[in-house]
């Protein structure tokens, strides 16, 4: 059947032929272009601004400054919303600001007839600043008497502390070995292909439409309502195809302003688009972390205690910052669930670009800390890193400390065993056991991970699907979950096709979400599409199946219970080869019979009240060229337990993409902050290095597939996890190759040079 | 409550502020413009066509002729479709034709980068015709040996004959007076404000999107599928706001070609727009009728027998032609349901513009015949026309011969009595009883009518509605029925608001129908929106109400049966002033509680299996200026029984509009066919006369409002009927004033001059 089979993407042809419509493909008569005027300091206050020359430029419609926007503080994080005020997102920003919090902060906005005019107008704006020293790192930010970046809250945005799995002191006491290490990560950019862009207009004096490249149309609708104090039911958000987001579009970055502008201009269509340079700095980034990891082990290598402490720098605004270190730290525990886990996570403001959601949401940072520490302790105790993990990782029946429920499906042991076998771990480690000399050293490393499928029970999880039987027997399928390039529409089509007994091609996923009519779903994040969205798809499809068989019973005179759907036909359940009628004939009767029938539709809005951890690991075989300070990956294997794989082509693609991103983050990706000014040196794709085809080795993805009982098709998360384990595995392989523990990511040539030099290797 | 109250149009502000989006407001990058190359003869064949110079013109993308289109005959009439092949529409046309059937027939189409280029290219096309004498009237069309306009079918497209209400010969025998008259009507144009226009593109190699100014998006979807043999599920039709249709857009006039063009151009957006001249001739018109009406009466003025015979000329193509005279003739019977009614209706092809649906669909013509005959017999027998009607018109309990069921609500007697009173019939008729002399004569006339609410049981009647409760307590409402300027969205909003106990402003009608996701409904025609569409709205709203009260019970702990909805709140049914919770609070809980709830939606697809005749009359007091050949309406009253009136403002607007259109048709509107060439002389709004503000007197609308039990809110048809009775009432008033019976519509100055002259009045 459709689920589990290699299935060509349903949006593939539209995308490769250029027919798929993205936000910038929407144009409107009379449309105006808006551009932000951004600060050229990282911290301070605007003393005065002069926009008169900009306003006077022919072709400029309007110029708005911080003085012209509503005095409404709003949040931007793409969370589902919580009825508990303590769990709501942080409202810490206005549409434009006089108080500058990062280099590039939005002070004013120009609306003009075209982009050239808008840019020329920006050049005519003059501003006088009162400048403060930028607070770029935790030491400065948290220093006694440090200037408050947000006066109302202070510089410590949030902190979370908890201990789970038992008593920390007892666990410590039971540990024969206690070690600590410090680990850190840098600012990483999503580098999605399609820049942030939104187009807003009014089609009624009381109704605003926003077409946006977003992962979260229904959440954007709610946030725009908050930001503008405008009724939610009068805001319509349309999400066409999206050219990647990776979390950067799980944030209401542009939409509140786009809506404000069209409303201020009496409904004139306004397009607000960022260029690449603005996207790199003025949207969202991955938070840099400073971590301290303590591990307590027995002589036998049993981990009794994990002590995790992190400081995350969210930059100028909260966005997702308050929740990310806690989220990342919480999800790591069920990798080693039998240890006592003590966690302390703080998020600070800083005068750097704003951190937001990014693929795996804190987990790459937390796993960097923990999985580096694992190999550090393995070295110290003389244990094989693979054996150390196999001894300690989760097994079915262990407790998921996040949900308080048992882990039902868990293939992490099998993942590690498969990786061990695929990479030839034992033979190679044995052959490399003697000390290596010479300019090229070789090493093997491994890292494992755990993650969640959606956000429950931390957040509400809701998904929706509606199916319509067309006259020709095909189906239209509306899902609230959003296709952003990850292949969600394909997997949903497969699921619906399986339940309805039709070929995948008979399901047409309506890929443009429209908050006026698309069933509610909070969007694409938290690797929730298949696991959470699939629940609604399955239920809607099952209802549709029931509707069809009941109608088939009505018009054929057979008992619906004796009928089944197969290959687009109604057949006898007991004789699947015997046709009762085709689905098309049934549909035509339902639509067009004068005296019976109706349009057959089925809808399901469903809150998922389960979660299921996904697991996996990565194993790397690499060479370190000490003279060239170059890391050459010879072989790399990521093995995932994401439950049953819905579409192997898609799944491999997800894993390959995550591996490439993690390799980039491991070895060279970082936004470089000028230590004096807070300015980002490499705000473009020439200077910010993402892996090219020359940097990416052959990528190997493998799966173990336990059936996850809480999901109708047995699936668990797969979208984000692939980005987690490669970086620490590479680090651990470098450690194996050179004996040098690199504790900072990225392990750029600069970092490696310094480390090798101080280790006396060069 | 909302229903029945004067309610401002929900789309009013969007329309008067220019924010409402119509088809031509959609523009796309790379969009091309298509223009038809039309025949300059009315009847013949293209011997050869040379498009080489047009193709060579820079900026021309493609030129297609009749040789380049699929060899698939298709229908264009906007009927719901029938599973009975004998009841399906007539497939008699290709996308382009070599066989010319009217002056303006579509031979080729040019696609170019802009309209100027496309028009220039048209001028470069040369064609050689084999020309035949145009067959313009029934005599020529039906003459022995006349050339077949459609070789496959002959010139008689359809004929229907039936007798109902008893035995014709017995009824004749029971009549003391038998009279016959001949009556005729001309070709009338809809003259909707917004010309026909459609934009098509592909957003996937297997999916075509058509944005069109149509009354019938779901029907267009089916017809395009037939015309192009392309799967219905891969065709998406979007209907934005429509600037009037009056039936001209109840036809797939442009959409099959627009879809063909974008598909032929690999998905490039193509706009196919007609200018006013093309709209006047190349779309659809009202069929001209030739009628013979016989009436049999007793001495007491009881009508025993109605003998109706009509020939309707559908022009070049069938469109709705085969069904219109039968439809018009069938609906007239329950005005005088106690008479035996014999009907014979024929539809012929002719080399004139194609007739299609137009407001009241044959009834204005049929009523012209019958209601003129009524006054002719009144004159002959010396009866008061008002009394004659009062004696014979339908009363509750009479049989509806169309449905075979009893007429439940009928206020026709009350309508006539009200009109009689309003216009001061008895006093004025008495004072005008002496013979009039002098150049200005005054008269009073009346006409009554009957009509249907929707098309059941002739056609399938299906409507759909889906409601979504938003987070703020407001509702999104999707209806398949289409707002085309008639106010349907407002009335649906009122109905939903009433059932849901919220202000009308809390309902947002999603006015753009999208066949991919909008609940199925066959569209705006047959005065079916309130009567048929309302059934689905009421049921969906009722389901939503149940869902809300059940959820309120769940979260409040009260029994849902004890709760009610009022003014946007959940209240106790027994104490409507006591708040349980606001709808917004309930909605927020349903959306965002982590462990319960869901998005609350409700949907209904419903086939209406009843019909309810609407009735009414018009009374006119006018002066005829014999010297100026000018008719001056002094007073005019239309009194309607449309059941309960949903929105009095809208209802009056509908009646006023229909009265104005009928006055135009009565006195001057007609497309003038050149008798030699078949060319239309007045294909524009300068030469084709529609009533201006100077031509329209004060219009008075009144209602009697019996509750119609087959409709949840007691409503019946109102959209089309107002166009029916004014024209014969004006004619009968002229007869009263002058003693001259004018049997042809329009009673243009030319017609009046001839008649008055031959009567010796001038």
Question: Which of B224, B591, B606, B611 would best serve as a mutation to test chain A binding (most A beta carbons within 10 A)?
Answer: B591
Q: Residue A207 and residue B508: Cβ atoms within 8 Å? A: yes
pLDDT at B437: 87
- B152 interfacial to chain A (CB closer than 8 Å): no
Of the candidates B210, B232, B166, B721, which has an alpha carbon nearest to the alpha carbon of residue B448?
B721
d(C-alpha A277, C-alpha A91), whole Å: 26
Among chain B residues, CA nearest to A589? B83
d(C-alpha A649, C-alpha A656), whole Å: 11
Among chain B residues, CA nearest to A455? B594
pLDDT at B1: 53
Measure B604 CA to nearest chain A CA, in Å: 9
pLDDT at A340 over 70: yes
- Full strand arrangement of the beta sheet holding B475-479: B507-510, B475-479, B462-469, B601-607
Of A435-444, A638-647, B11-20, B422-431, minimum mean pLDDT range: A435-444
For residue A347, list its beta bridge partners: A158, A312
Measure A513 CA to nearest chain B CA, in Å: 11
Full DSSP string of B321-387: TTTHHHHHHHHHGGGSTTSEEEEEEEEEE-SSPPB---TTTTHHHHHHHHHHHHHHHHHHHT--HHH
Q: Residue B202 and residue A19: Cβ atoms within 8 Å? A: yes
> Across the interface, which of B27, B462, B589 has its CB nearest the CB of A598?
B462
> Across the interface, which of A13, A21, A29 has its CB nearest the CB of B25?
A29
pTM, entire model: 0.97
d(C-alpha A336, C-alpha A332), whole Å: 8
The encoded tokens of residue A244 equal: 């990647």
Tokens 């300059």, residue?
B40
The encoded tokens of residue B711 equal: 């409709």
pLDDT at A1 over 70: no
For residue B161, list its beta bridge partners: B344
pLDDT at B402: 79
Q: Residue B520 and residue A599: Cβ atoms within 8 Å? A: yes
- A282 interfacial to chain B (CB closer than 8 Å): no
- B546 interfacial to chain A (CB closer than 8 Å): no
d(C-alpha A696, C-alpha B443), whole Å: 94
pLDDT at B404: 87
For residue B64, list its beta bridge partners: B109
pLDDT at A39 over 70: yes
Measure A499 CA to nearest chain B CA, in Å: 19
Q: Residue A231 and residue B472: Cβ atoms within 8 Å? A: yes
Among chain A residues, CA nearest to B234? A508
From chain A, pick out residues whose CB is under 8 angstroms from the CB of B474.
Answer: 231-234
The dihedral of CA B522, B528, B532, B533: what is its sign?
positive
Whole-number average pLDDT of chain A: 97
pLDDT tens digits for A147-206?
999 998 899 999 999 999 999 999 999 999 999 999 999 999 999 999 999 999 999 999
Mean pLDDT of A81-96: 95
Question: Which of A594, A596, A604 would best serve as a mutation to test chain B binding (most B beta carbons within 10 A)?
Answer: A594
pLDDT tens digits for A606-629?
999 999 999 999 999 999 999 999
Q: Are A186 and A670 in contact (CB under 8 A)?
A: yes
Among chain B residues, CA nearest to A222? B471
Classified as helix, coil or strand, A171 is helix
- A25 interfacial to chain B (CB closer than 8 Å): yes
Please list the helix, strand and coil fractions of chain A in percent, rounded to the nearest 5, in that order.
30, 25, 45
Q: Are A449 and A367 in contact (CB under 8 A)?
A: yes
Full DSSP string of A71-140: S--B--B-----SSGGGSPP--B-SS-SEE-STT-EEEEEEESSHHHHHHHHHT-EEEEEE-----SHHH
Q: Residue B517 and residue A466: Cβ atoms within 8 Å? A: yes
pLDDT at A359: 98
pLDDT at B403: 82
Q: Residue B508 and residue A516: Cβ atoms within 8 Å? A: yes
Name the DSSP letter for residue B288. P
Among chain A residues, CA nearest to B269? A19
- B22 interfacial to chain A (CB closer than 8 Å): no
Q: Are B261 and B34 in contact (CB under 8 A)?
A: yes
Tokens 């069929």, residue?
B287
- B139 interfacial to chain A (CB closer than 8 Å): no
Q: Residue B592 and residue A520: Cβ atoms within 8 Å? A: no
CB environment B57-72: b (16+ within 10 A), e (fewer): beebbbbbbbeebeee
d(C-alpha A158, C-alpha A312), whole Å: 10
Q: Residue A470 and residue B596: Cβ atoms within 8 Å? A: no
Q: Compute CA distances A248 → A195, A211, B621, B735, whole Å.
A: 10, 17, 72, 78
From chain A, pick out residues whose CB is under 8 angstroms from the CB of B207.
Answer: 14, 508
Q: Residue B475 and residue A233: Cβ atoms within 8 Å? A: yes
Q: Are A363 and A451 in contact (CB under 8 A)?
A: yes
Give the β-pairing of B270-273 and B235-239: unpaired
**CA triplet A16, A20, A25: central angle to 5 degrees?**
125
Among chain B residues, CA nearest to A460? B594
Among chain A residues, CA nearest to B608? A595
Instruction: pLDDT band for A2, please (50, 70, 90 cuts).
Output: confident
Parts of chain B with a pLDDT under 70? 1
From chain B, pick out residues whose CB is under 8 angstroms from the CB of A600.
Answer: 605
Chain A with chain B: Cβ pairs closer than 8 A:
178
| Residue B73 CB-density burial (10 A; 0-12 exposed, 13-18 middle, 19+ buried) | middle
d(C-alpha B322, C-alpha A130), whole Å: 81
ipTM: 0.96
- A594 interfacial to chain B (CB closer than 8 Å): yes
- A27 interfacial to chain B (CB closer than 8 Å): yes
- A176 interfacial to chain B (CB closer than 8 Å): no
d(C-alpha A218, C-alpha A239), whole Å: 10
Among chain B residues, CA nearest to A226? B472
Tokens 């058509």, residue?
B210
From chain A, pick out residues whose CB is under 8 angstroms from the CB of B31.
Answer: none
CB environment A297-333: b (16+ within 10 A), e (fewer): beeebbbbbbbbbbbbbbbbbbbbbbbbbbbbbbbbb
Q: Residue A14 and residue B508: Cβ atoms within 8 Å? A: no
Instruction: pLDDT band for A433, please (50, 70, 90 cuts).
Output: confident
| Residue B108 CB-density burial (10 A; 0-12 exposed, 13-18 middle, 19+ buried) | buried
- Residue A756: partners with Cβ closer than 8 Å, 6 or more residues away: A626, A629, A738, A740, A762
d(C-alpha A180, C-alpha A291), whole Å: 10
Name the DSSP letter for residue B102. S
> Across the interface, which of A588, A591, A603 has its CB nearest the CB of B601?
A603
Give the β-pairing of B99-100 and B44-50: antiparallel
Q: Residue B267 and residue A592: Cβ atoms within 8 Å? A: no
- B594 interfacial to chain A (CB closer than 8 Å): yes
Q: Residue B460 and residue A589: Cβ atoms within 8 Å? A: no
> Across the interface, which of A28, A202, A519 has its CB nearest the CB of B27?
A28
- B596 interfacial to chain A (CB closer than 8 Å): yes
- A169 interfacial to chain B (CB closer than 8 Å): no
- A592 interfacial to chain B (CB closer than 8 Å): yes
Question: Which of A205, A266, A514, A607 would best serve as a mutation to test chain B binding (most B beta carbons within 10 A)?
Answer: A607
Taking residue A623's Cβ as centre, other Cβ atoms within 10 Å add up to 17
From chain B, pick out residues whose CB is under 8 angstroms from the CB of A594.
Answer: 82, 456-457, 459-460, 607
Q: Residue A598 and residue B589: Cβ atoms within 8 Å? A: no
d(C-alpha A625, C-alpha A752), whole Å: 11
Q: Residue A517 and residue B478: Cβ atoms within 8 Å? A: yes
- Residue B661: partners with Cβ closer than 8 Å, 6 or more residues away: B246, B359, B691, B723
Tokens 């008061």, residue?
B384
Classified as helix, coil or strand, B56 is helix
Q: Residue A233 and residue B506: Cβ atoms within 8 Å? A: yes
Measure A557 CA to nearest chain B CA, in Å: 19
């Amino acid at each position: 059947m459709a689920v589990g089979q290699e299935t060509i993407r349903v949006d593939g042809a539209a995308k490769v032929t250029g027919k798929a419509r993205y936000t910038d493909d929407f144009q409107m008569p009379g449309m105006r272009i808006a551009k932000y005027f951004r600060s050229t300091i990282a911290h301070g206050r605007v003393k005065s601004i002069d926009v008169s020359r900009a306003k006077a430029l022919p072709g400029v419609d309007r110029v708005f400054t911080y003085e012209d926007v509503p005095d409404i503080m709003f949040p931007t994080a793409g969370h589902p919303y919580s009825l508990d005020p303590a769990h709501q997102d942080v409202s810490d920003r206005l549409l434009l600001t006089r108080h500058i919090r990062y280099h590039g902060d939005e002070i004013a906005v120009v609306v003009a007839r075209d982009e050239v005019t808008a840019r020329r107008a920006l050049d005519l704006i003059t501003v006088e600043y009162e400048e403060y020293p930028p607070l770029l790192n935790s030491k400065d930010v948290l220093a006694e008497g440090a200037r408050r970046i947000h006066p109302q809250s202070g510089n410590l945005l949030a902190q979370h502390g908890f201990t789970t799995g038992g008593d920390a002191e007892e666990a410590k006491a039971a540990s024969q070995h206690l070690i600590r290490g410090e680990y850190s990560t840098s600012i990483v950019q999503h580098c999605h292909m399609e820049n942030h862009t939104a187009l807003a207009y009014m089609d009624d004096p009381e109704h605003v439409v926003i077409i946006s490249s977003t992962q979260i149309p229904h959440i954007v609708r709610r946030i725009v309502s908050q930001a503008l104090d405008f009724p939610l039911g009068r805001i319509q958000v349309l999400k066409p195809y999206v050219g990647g987001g990776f979390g950067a579009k799980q944030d209401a970055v542009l939409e509140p302003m786009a809506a404000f502008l069209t409303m201020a201009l009496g409904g004139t269509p306004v397009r607000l688009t960022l260029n690449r340079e603005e996207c790199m700095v003025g949207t969202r980034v991955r938070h840099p972390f400073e971590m301290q990891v303590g591990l307590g082990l027995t002589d036998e290598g049993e981990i009794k205690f994990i002590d995790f402490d992190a400081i995350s720098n969210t930059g100028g605004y909260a966005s997702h910052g308050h929740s990310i270190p806690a989220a990342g730290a919480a999800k790591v525990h069920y990798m080693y669930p039998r240890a006592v886990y003590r966690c302390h996570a703080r998020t600070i403001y800083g005068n750097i670009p704003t951190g937001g959601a990014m693929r795996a949401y804190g987990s790459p940072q937390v796993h960097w800390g923990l999985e580096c520490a694992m190999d550090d302790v393995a070295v110290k105790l003389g244990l094989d890193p693979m054996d150390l993990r196999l001894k300690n990782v989760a097994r079915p029946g262990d407790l998921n400390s996040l949900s308080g429920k048992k882990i039902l499906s868990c293939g992490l042991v099998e993942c590690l065993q498969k990786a061990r076998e695929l990479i030839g771990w034992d033979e190679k480690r044995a052959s490399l056991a003697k000390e290596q000399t010479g300019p090229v050293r070789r090493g093997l490393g491994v890292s494992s991970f755990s993650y969640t499928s959606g956000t429950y029970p931390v957040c509400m999880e809701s998904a929706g699907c509606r199916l319509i039987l067309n006259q020709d027997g095909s189906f239209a399928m509306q899902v609230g979950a959003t296709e952003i390039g990850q292949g969600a529409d394909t997997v949903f089509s497969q699921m619906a096709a399986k339940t309805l007994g039709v070929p995948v091609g008979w399901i047409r996923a309506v890929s443009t979400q429209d908050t006026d009519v698309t069933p509610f779903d909070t969007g694409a994040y938290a690797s929730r599409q298949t696991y959470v969205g699939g629940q609604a798809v399955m239920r809607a499809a099952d209802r549709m199946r029931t509707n069809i068989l009941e109608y088939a019973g009505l018009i054929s005179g057979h008992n619906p219970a004796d009928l089944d759907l197969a290959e687009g036909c109604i057949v006898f359940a007991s004789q699947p080869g015997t046709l009762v009628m085709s689905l098309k004939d049934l549909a035509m009767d339902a639509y067009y019979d004068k005296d019976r029938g109706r349009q057959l539709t089925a809808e399901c809005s469903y809150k998922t009240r389960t979660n299921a951890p996904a697991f996996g690991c990565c194993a790397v075989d690499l060479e370190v060229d000490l003279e060239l300070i170059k890391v050459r990956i010879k072989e790399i294997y990521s093995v995932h337990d994401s439950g049953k794989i819905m579409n192997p082509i898609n799944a491999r693609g997800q894993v390959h993409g995550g591996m490439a991103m993690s390799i980039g983050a491991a070895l060279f990706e970082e936004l470089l902050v000028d230590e004096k000014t807070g300015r980002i040196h490499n705000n473009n794709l020439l200077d910010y290095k993402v892996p090219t085809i020359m940097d990416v080795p052959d990528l190997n993805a493998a799966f173990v597939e336990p059936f996850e009982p809480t999901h109708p098709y047995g699936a668990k998360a797969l979208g984000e996890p692939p980005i987690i384990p490669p970086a620490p595995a590479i680090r651990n392989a470098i450690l194996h190759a050179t004996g040098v523990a690199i504790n900072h990511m990225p392990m750029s040539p600069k970092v490696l040079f310094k480390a090798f030099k101080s280790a006396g290797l060069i």
